[in-house]
Structure 1
Amino acid sequence: MMSSVDQINTEPSSRTMESDAREQTTGHGHGPVAAGEIAIGVVIGRASEYFDFFVYGLASVLVFPALFFPFVDTLTGTLYSFTIFAAAFITRPFGTALFMGIQKRWGRGTKLTLALFLLGTATAGIAFLPTYESQGALSIILLIVFRSLQGVAFGGSWDGLPSLLALNAPKERRGWYAMLGQLGAPVGFLVASALFLFLHSTLAVEDFLGWGWRYPFFVAFAINVVALFARLRLVLTEEYTKLLEEGELEPIPVREMLAGQGYNLFIGAFAALASYALFHIVTIFPLSWITLTATQSINEVLVIQVIGAFVAMAGTIVSGVIADRIGRRTTLTALALLIAIFACFAPVLLHGSTTGQDAFILIGFALLGLSYGQSSGTVTANFSSRFRYTGAALTSDLAWLLGAAFAPLVALGLSMEFGLVAVSLYLLSGAAGTILALWINRKLKPLTLRRH
C-alpha cells in the first residue's frame, strides 16, 4: 500500500542505470517521463487508502468500544477494538498475493478496479453495521469480516506507480520523489481526523454515537471512486503501460518471489520498523490513552492531531531534501536514533500536563514525517528487476504487520498494566530493528550489486 522503490545505496544498481539511460531516449516510442504526473496519481491513491484506514482507527477509540463492546469496561472494549484493528494488517499480504494473480490473468485495470471497489465497499459497509445492542455477537463478527476485507483490498490496491516514480525520477532527486509517494499518509489522516473533529464537536453525544460516526465511512466510498479514476487514468494509458513493462514491473507468483529473494523482504521490513512502530503510537494510541485517563477532552486531542498532520506533511517534504543531500541510509539511521531518544521521554510527556501530552503528539508527528518520508522501500532496490514489483508490495505489507498492526493494542494494554515505559520499549525495539537492518543491508550491498 504505499511502498516506494528507491535506491538506498549510494551507488545505483545496473538496472537503475539502464532505466536512467532509457529516460534520455525516445527509442521506445514515448516522450520523457512525466514524474510529476505520476506523483499526483500516487498521492491521490495513497491518501484515499489511508483515509479508509484512519477512519477505522479513530472509530476504534471513539465509537466501537461503546457500540460493539458495551458488555465490558471501556479499557477492555478499546483493547478488543484494537485487536480487530490489527486484522486488516494480517490479511493484507494475502490480498497482495490474491490480486497479483488477478492482475496476471485479467490485467492491471481489472485488479485495481476490483481492489478499490472492495476497499470502498468494505469501509462503507461498516457504516451499515448493527450495534451489539440490536444484534449481539453478529455485529462483532460482521465488524471483523469488513475489517479483514479492508486489508485484503488494501493489499490488492498496489499499482506499481510508486516503483515507476522512483525508477524514473532524476537520479539526484530520488529522495524527493520517494517522499511524494509517502505524502498520502498525513493527508489521509488530516482529512479523517478533521472530519471526526467536526462531527464530534458539533453533534450531541447521542447523535454522534447514533448516526454521526457512520458518515466518514460513507464518505470513504466516494473518495475511493475519485481515486480509482485518477489512478486508472495513468495505469491504463499506453505510455505508462510501456513504462511499467520496460521497468519489468509485473507480478510474479509470491512463492517464487519468496524462494528467490525472500530475505530482502525481512531486511526491507525491519529497515522501516522505527517509522512504522511510531506511526500508530502518535496517531491512534495518544487518543486512546488520553481518553481513558480523561486528562483532556476528545476535541482538544483531535485539534492537536489535526495540527500534527500538518507537521507530518511538512516533515515528509523536508525528508526529501535531507535525503538527497546526505543519503537515505544516513537519514534513516539518524531518524531511528532520534526516535529512540524521543522514546525515552515518552512516559514523562504523556503522564505529565496537557502541554506535555501535546508536545508528545507534535514531536512524534514531526519525527514520523521525517522518517516515514524515506522509510518505505528502503532496500527494495536490492531486488533484481524480475522480483521488484511483487517484492516492493510484500515488503510494505510485512513492515506494516511487524511495526504498526499491533502497536495500539500492545502499547495501551502494557501501559495500563505496567506504565508508560511500555511505549518507550516498543519504540526502542523499532529503532533497534531499523539500525540493525540498515547495517545488514550495507554488508550485503556488494553481494547485491554483483547479483544485479
Structure 2
Amino acid sequence: MAHSAGQPHSTELERHAREANRGHGGKEHPVAPGEIAIGVVIGRTSEFFDFFVYAIASVLVFPRFLFPESSPNTGMLLSFALFALAFVARPIGSVIFMWVDRRHGRAVKLTIALFLLGSATAGIAFLPGHGWVGGWAAALLGLFRFAQGIALGGTWDGLASLLALNAPEKKRGWYAMLPQLGAPLGFLLAASIFAFLLSALPDGDFQDWGWRYPFFVAFAVNVVALFARLRIVATDEFSNLLEKDELQPVRVKALMQENGRNVVIGAFVPLATFALFHLVTVFPLAWIILQTERDGRDVLEAQMIGAAVMVFTVLLSGWIGDLIGRRRLLGISAVLIGAFAFAGPYFLSGRNSGPDTFIILGFALLGLSFGQSSGAVASRFTRNLRYTGSALTSDAAWLIGAGFAPLVVLALSNAFGVAAVGAYLLSGVACTLLALTTNRQLEMRDR
C-alpha cells in the first residue's frame, strides 16, 4: 500500500478541518461517537439531497426541457434513461476512488469526490435547453449525470462502518439505522424547495430558470457537508480508529477472491427495499402527473408527508432491529412489501386519496426496511475487506434494484397497466428472501 490512512496527504481543506478540531491548547479533541453519527447523517443527507434534486427535475423539468418534440410519455422515458446513468457509473467511481484512497488518503479522496459531485450538479444548473443546442443538451446532461455517479462512488468515507463496528452489542441496529436517515431528510429538503418554486413562480418562469436554483443550493450543501465530514476524517483520532478496525481500501480483485460471494449475496439482500425506493419517490410523481390532472406541487406535498413518516419508521427500524435482529426485520419487511405489491397498484390507480395512500404507505414500509438494509450483511465481510466490500456491495444493489426501476416500471405500466408496479416489487421481494435464506445457510455452514 502506497500510503497509510493514518498519515494522509494534506490538502488546504484538510488543514482547515484539523484546525477547526483543535482547542485553545492546540490539541485535537477526541472524536466522540456522537460526532461520528452527526457526520454520517450530514454526509448522507447531502448526498441524497443531490440525488433527489436530480430525480425530481427528471420528472418535472427534463422531459419538456430536453425532449420538447416527444410525447409526454416518451419524454419521461428518455429522461429516466439518463437518470439511470449515475447508477452505471457509481461502481466505476468506487474503483477509481479506492485507488485515490490507497495512494493519497481518505481526506483527499473525499475532497475530490464531493467537489466533482458539486461541480456536476452545479453544471446542470447552467444546462442549455433543446431550443439552444438541440440534441447536445441531452448529451451534456448525460455527461453531467455520469459524472455525478462517478463522484458518488468516491463519497464512501467509512463512517457508517466505523459506527457499526464500534456500536454496543445490543445497539447495532440503532447505529446501522443512523446513516439511512439521510434519505428521507434529503428528500424533504429537495421536495420542499421544488414545491416552493412551483407555488411561487408561473410555469413558464419555473421551466425557464426557476428549476435551476435547487442545483445551486446542492453545491452549497456539498461544501458544508465536506467541511463537516473532513472535521472528523482529517483527525488523528479517526485515522487511529480506522487502522484499529482495519477499515482500509483494498484492491477489488483481492475482495472478490476472498469475499466475492458476500458481495453477490449482499447486493441481492436489499432488492425489495431498493425496488420500493424509486417506486414511492420518483415513479409516483411521474405516473400521477402523466395520468391525472394533479400538478407536481400537489404530489410533492403528499410525498413530503410520506417522507416525514419515513423518518419515524427508519428510527423505529433501529429499535426493532435490536429487538429481533436486523436480518429478521429485513425478511419481515420483504413480506410486507410483497403484500403491498398486491394492494399498491389498486391505490395508485384509484381516485381521490388512493394515490396519496400509496405514497404514504410506501414511504412507511420503505423506512422500516431501508433503515436496516445497509448493515444486515456487511457484518459478513472480514474486517480488512469491509470498507471496500460495503461500498461495492451497495453500488451493485443500487444498480440492480433501483437504477433502472423508474424506466422499466413506467415502460411496463404504459404497456400492461399499473399492475406492473406490483410485479416489479414482487421480483425484488423474491430476490431478498432468497438471498437472506442463502446467507443464513452459508452462515450456519461456516460455523
TM-score by length of 2: 0.92
Aligned match of 1:345: 343
Aligned match of 2:131: 133
* Greater relative contact order structure (CA < 8 Å, 6+ sep): 1
Choose which of 118, 123, 126 in structure 2 pairs with 1:120: 118
Distance 1:175 1:31, change over 3 A: farther
Q: Are residues 1:426 and 2:424 paired?
A: yes
8 Å CA contact retained: 1:280, 1:404: yes
Q: Are residues 1:252 and 2:250 paired?
A: yes
Aligned match of 1:445: 443
**Paired letter, 2:341:** A
Matches within 5 A, 1:298-337: 298-337=296-335
Distance 2:142 2:201 in 1: 27
**How far off is 1:39 after superposition?**
0.8
Distance 1:151 1:316 in 2: 25
**Cα deviation 1:146-171 (Å, max 9, x = unaligned):** 00000000010100000000001111
Distance 2:384 2:322 in 1: 27
Q: Are residues 1:109 and 2:84 paired?
A: no
Aligned match of 1:11: none
Aligned match of 1:63: 61
**Paired letter, 1:251:** P
8 Å CA contact retained: 1:315, 1:366: yes
8 Å CA contact retained: 1:79, 1:413: yes
**Paired letter, 1:177:** Y
SS of 2:250 mapped into structure 1: coil
**Cα deviation 1:369-419 (Å, max 9, x = unaligned):** 010000113211111122111000001101100111011111111101100
8 Å CA contact retained: 1:316, 1:369: yes
Aligned match of 2:81: 83
**How far off is 1:138 after superposition?**
1.1
Choose which of 398, 401, 412 in structure 1 pairs with 2:396: 398
Distance 2:389 2:278 in 1: 24
**Paired letter, 1:102:** V
**Cα deviation 1:118-144 (Å, max 9, x = unaligned):** 000000100001001100111111100
Distance 1:182 1:236, change over 3 A: same
Distance 1:141 1:80 in 2: 12
Distance 1:203 1:227, change over 3 A: same
Choose which of 18, 41, 44 in structure 2 pairs with 1:43: 41
Aligned match of 1:387: 385
Distance 1:245 1:447, change over 3 A: farther
**Paired letter, 2:77:** L
Choose which of 147, 152, 155 in structure 1 pairs with 2:153: 155
8 Å CA contact retained: 1:272, 1:378: no
Aligned match of 2:72: 74
Alignment identity in percent?
A: 59
Distance 1:300 1:354 in 2: 12
**Cα deviation 1:184-228 (Å, max 9, x = unaligned):** 011101100111000011100000001000000010110000000
Q: Are residues 1:189 and 2:187 paired?
A: yes
Distance 2:297 2:346 in 1: 23
8 Å CA contact retained: 2:194, 2:297: no
**How far off is 1:296 after superposition?**
2.2
Choose which of 360, 365, 368 in structure 2 pairs with 1:367: 365
Provide structure 1 residue ranges, at least 5 long, that are not aligned to the other structure: 1-29
Distance 2:121 2:168 in 1: 37
Distance 2:297 2:123 in 1: 26
Aligned match of 1:19: none
Distance 2:141 2:375 in 1: 31
**Paired letter, 2:335:** L
**How far off is 1:33 after superposition?**
6.9
**Cα deviation 1:33-89 (Å, max 9, x = unaligned):** 722211100000000011111111100110000010112111100000000100000
Distance 2:149 2:292 in 1: 32
Aligned match of 1:224: 222
Paired residues, number: 420
**How far off is 1:447 after superposition?**
4.3
Bigger CA drift: 283-292 or 294-303? Answer: 294-303
Distance 1:235 1:300 in 2: 41
**Cα deviation 1:224-274 (Å, max 9, x = unaligned):** 000000000001101110001100000011122122211111111111111
8 Å CA contact retained: 1:296, 1:354: no
**Paired letter, 2:33:** A
Which runs of 4 or more aligned residues in structure 1 lie more than 3 Å from their structure 2 counterparts after TM superposition? 30-33
Q: Are residues 1:173 and 2:168 paired?
A: no
Provide structure 2 residue ranges, at least 5 long, that are not aligned to the other structure: 1-27
Distance 2:262 2:146 in 1: 26
8 Å CA contact retained: 1:51, 1:189: yes
SS of 2:372 mapped into structure 1: helix
**How far off is 1:294 after superposition?**
1.9
Distance 1:331 1:415 in 2: 30
**How far off is 1:295 after superposition?**
4.2
